[in-house]
Each structure stands twice: as C-alpha cells, then as structure tokens.
Structure 1
Amino acid sequence: MMLGRFANVRPALDEDDTFLFEVFCTLWERETALMPNPQLVQHFLRIQYITAERRFQVRYPQLERFVVLSDGEAAGRIYLHRTPAMLQIVELTLLPAYRSRGLATALIRDVMAKAHQTGQLVSIRAERRSELAAAICERLGFRMVVVDDQDRFFEWSPPSDRSKDSAGPVTEGPQDRGTLSSHSVP
C-alpha cells in the first residue's frame, strides 16, 4: 500500500539511489569529518548504505521508500512500514538545507493522519542524544515506550484509541520500531 497521495513525497525509484545515498551520508557527517582520506570515506559510506538498505529490506519486506519533496525539489527520504496494527516511520532524514523548516513535522503529521484513518498506531525512533527529536515527538503527541542505550522509541495512538496510551510504563531494551534521526528533525 503506497502513501503516494502525500503532496510532499513521491515513491523512490531505482534512479533515486544516488540521491538516497547522498541523504544517508548526511547521517555520518560527524563520524567521518576527521577521516583524512575522502576516497576511504566514500567507500566506507557506500558499504554502510548498502548494509542499511539490505537490513531494511530483510527486516521490513513491505518497506515503502519515498523521496521527500520541498517545492518540487528532492529534500530527503522517508521509509515507512505497515502492519495491520502499526505504521512505522523506519527512517526520516532531510538534507541539511531543508532541516529546521517544519518539513519533518509536517511529514510526521501526514503519517499520523493516515494512521488515524485506518486506526493504526504510529511508531518512530529518536536517537537518545537528540533532545530536539525527542521533544518534537512528544510535542506531536507521541509517548516514549522504550529506551535503550542509543535510542528512544515512541508511539502515537489515534485519538479514538487513546486508552492504549496508559497501558504500561516505559521499558528498557531494544525494539523493532521506526527511526527519526537527530539529523532529520524539522
């Protein structure tokens, strides 16, 4: 099932691989900034990208990959996975020039609206080091359900299903949920 009805995304095509790789590379800027060999950095990043894409395909066989658009320009990527009960934001990353404009918030709200129509939960992961990403999730009505060494996992329930929000405390440990990187916040 596609989410192509969103005005600000389009399905990712095979031809978008170079762009999706470029977006992926922005997630590693801090880690690769001090590496002295640019060719080695590109090789390292390509291996990381291929590994991540394969992991997504194995973990989420029905993964829906989209290119995020801003005024018709490619601005980032959003990967979604549906189950009957949940709509997971597996990955949401924007290019640096498009961050802090409210675009990620608008995308998350679009996903929430779609999930509301179908009565699904929405899940997302925010890096633990990103207070901003966590604050955005909480501001949008997500509640933290799991915390591990690296991430915080959030869920949102449609208003008619809010009784589930009070079911249980935040737990510690890894979970298979979506992601909002610290680089992808609005």
Structure 2
Amino acid sequence: MQENNGHHLVSLRKHTTDDLAFMQALYASTREAELAMTNFTRQEKEAFIQQQFNAQYQHYLHHYNSDKFDIIEFDGQAIGRLFVDHWDREIRIVDITLTPDYQNKGIGSYLFKQLFEQAKAGNKAVTIHVEHNNPAKNLYQRLGFELKTQTNEIYLLMQWTP
C-alpha cells in the first residue's frame, strides 16, 4: 500500500525482528506521560517498558495471526506500526501506533480508510479496542466507529461497519 500524500509516501511493510528495538521505543512513547507520574528511576522505567512491551508483543503473536503486522513508513522511515488480523466477519485492528511527531497529520485516517475499503470489499466490520480515556477514541468516532462492547469501564470495543 502506498499513497502519494502531497510529495510524501506512506507505506506498510511486514515487521521483522530487526524492528523490535524501534517497536519498543514506539511503545515507550505511549507510556511516557504515565511513567512521568511515578518515582521510578530511569533504569526502573526502562525495565518496566521492556517487560511490558515484551508481554504485549508475545500476547499479540500468540493470539493473532501476525501475517499483517506491519511497520508504517513515511518516505522510507519507520514512524509507526499497524497490526491487523483478518477474521471471517471482521478485520480486527490489533494495534495502531504512530510516533508523536507523525500523529495528527492524517496518516492514521488514511490507513483506516484503506482498511475500510478492504472491509467493504469483503462485507466485514472493522473493530478496534481502545481505553475509555485514550484521545484516539475521538478519531475513531469521527471515522464512524461506534461502541460495540465495554469491559470493566476501561476497555471499549469499537466497530465500523460498511
């Protein structure tokens, strides 16, 4: 998948073990605000991030088909990850994360719209989990996702249907 966004190219490529350090740093960027509120030392924060990233990554590999676990690139530079699993009746977005410098630039919306086209072609829904207080929830709602289910007031399963 490639898009000439102005003069810039957004593309996906299958992740490899060579991407693990990038993905861990990307994961760390999503936890910075939370960890800033702790009294952890730098080493404790790094150990916590490594443990949490490894647990999440292993969970994804164990519970989802990783054939569509991709690195998002912008002009050939890794800027995020898009992990997707295709099921009989839905396309599950397992994870989408962009580095802070590339958030709010339309890249996520572009990638979602590509998935919506795939969903329309296969007559499938697109689903994604999001925490109730995650600002990305607003983007998902703007794109047409609606609440499907809620787990213990924290996790929402949102669904887009063609």
TM-score category, normalised to shorter length = 0.7 to 0.9
Equivalent residues of 1:12, 1:67 under 8 A apart? yes
How many residues align structurally?
Answer: 153
Further displaced range: 47-56 or 134-143: 134-143
Partner of 2:87: 83
Pair 1:47 & 2:58 matched: no
Partner residue of 1:12 out of 15, 22, 38: 15
Equivalent residues of 1:77, 1:91 under 8 A apart? yes
Task: Return the letter of the residue paired with 2:21.
Answer: T
Which of the pair has the greater relative contact order for Cα pairs under 8 Å at 6+ separation?
1
More strand, by proportion:
2
Task: Return the letter of the residue paired with 2:90.
Answer: M
Query: What secondary structure sits across from 2:32 in the alignment?
Result: helix
Partner residue of 2:28 out of 25, 30, 37: 25
Gaps of 5+ in 1: 159-186
For 1:49 and 1:151, locate their aligned partners in 2 and report how far apart those are by CA, in whole Å.
Answer: 19
Partner of 1:183: none
Partner of 1:156: 160
Further displaced range: 117-126 or 28-37: 28-37
By how many angstroms is 1:139 displaced?
1.8
Pair 1:136 & 2:139 matched: yes
Partner of 1:69: 73
Partner residue of 2:148 out of 145, 149, 172: 145
By how many angstroms is 1:152 displaced?
2.0
TM-score (norm 1): 0.76
Q: 1:25 to 1:69 in 2, by over 3 A?
A: same
Q: Name the Cα RMSD after superposition.
A: 1.6
TM-score (norm 2): 0.86
